[in-house]
Amino acid sequence: MTVAQMEQPLTTTPPQQLPGGDETILIIDDEEMVRSTAARMLRRRGYTVLEAEDGESGLETFEQNEEEIRLVLLDHSMPRMSGREVLNQLRAGRSHVRIVIITGVTAGLDDFEGADELMEKPFSLQSLVGRVREILDSP
């Protein structure tokens, strides 16, 4: 997500028509602006959002709130512990939580075995909110 995209108003869909929910979502991203902006938008739609700035704190937050968390938005490229390492640890614990990899690198879902979805940066806040709802609603 670029700063320019975050500053642009949402297009076509009025804010009151964007899908929302009451599930708990964990965002693990080292880019504070991306993380906080996505969290703010999701909170406005009714979601409970937990935030972590790196993989280690993300795993700790997940372990403390595993029963409530329904979706993890996980940045692929982070210092110290990559998104792939976090993904592997989440799946090694046999967690069935939905995991979406957020990446700025062109890749396919096959590159992130164990992830449920892949979202490429930059993305609009509108597309984020819509995809989150679709993923949570999918069987």
pLDDT tens digits for the chain (139 residues)? Answer: 433 344 444 344 455 567 789 999 999 999 999 999 999 999 999 999 999 999 999 999 999 999 999 999 999 999 889 999 999 999 998 778 999 999 887 666 667 888 999 998 888 888 999 999 999 999 8
Residue 102 in contact with residue 119, Cβ under 8 Å?
yes
The hierarchical CATH code for the domain 20-137 is: 3.40.50.2300
Residue with structure tokens 């996505």? 38
Whether residue 84 contacts residue 60, with contact meaning beta carbons closer than 8 Å, is answered with no
The structure's pTM equals: 0.84
